[in-house]
Chain A
């Protein structure tokens, strides 16, 4: 079946630099996307979401970009901090009326002090 995938399994970033985590999705009918952060020993934590009628959404230090043409999603973290070190997952919802999410495998972000 269709699934959400990630380009980079690991990412190391210097503290203070910007981070970009990428995600490819294959279901063109997906209408809602979420980024989650998971720290060691904890459950996934909501970061930011975006609906398919948007191409950009900003939060505090985070921005999500959606390119429906190439089915690509990215999470940008500004001024990366040590506390940002975690595994980041993208998830997609396969269409209106569905409350299921399909998760990618995750990207591990390591922040170098």
Chain B
């Protein structure tokens, strides 16, 4: 199994630009999670999906953030417009409820907004 795949691995952009992060969960997993990690706040859950449906987006910082999951094998996290304080590592994780609750994380996308 290839594990959770994220792209790009690194993204550097200027303030005000749109940023799109991508995630491919492990095949067969029915839950997908987006996290943000910073030194100050640690690992924070932004949003999670079950069977492609958003279940809880209370962690999304503000309206500039949006996430979609058009099918079981793909999800995006979009920031528009981006701001320097959005700089962080963004992780995607997936899990399969039928075999336990363990979440498997991708390698992350390091976002730098100048």
Contacts and interface: CB of A to CB of B under 8 A. Distances in A.
A44 B91 contact: yes
Contacts, number: 47
Interface residues of A, number: 20
Interface in A72-110: 89, 93, 99-106
A49 to B, nearest CB: 6
Contacts of B48: 99-100
Contacts of B107: 41-43
A43 B91 contact: yes
Nearest to B102: A46
Nearest to B108: A43
Tell me whether chain B's interface is mostly helix, strand or loop, or mixed: strand
A104 B106 contact: no
Contacts of A36: 105
A20 B4 CA distance: 29
Contacts of A104: 42
B45 A43 contact: no
A45 interface: yes
Contacts of B93: 43-44
A99 B95 contact: yes
Interface string B39-73: 00011110010100001100000000000000000
B56 A43 contact: no
Report the interface size class on chain B.
Answer: 20 to 34
Give the residue among B55, B102, B104 with the most A Cβ atoms within 10 A: B102
Given A44-B43, A44-B93, A99-B48, 13 more contacts: A34-B103, A41-B107, A42-B107, A42-B108, A43-B105, A49-B100, A49-B101, A93-B101, A99-B95, A99-B101, A103-B42, A104-B42, A106-B42
B48 to A, nearest CB: 7
B43 A100 contact: no
Interface string A29-50: 0001010100001111110010
Contacts of B102: 34, 46, 49
B12 interface: no
Question: What are the 4 tightest A-B residue pairs by CB atom distance, in nearest-first order?
Answer: A43-B105, A103-B43, A105-B42, A44-B105
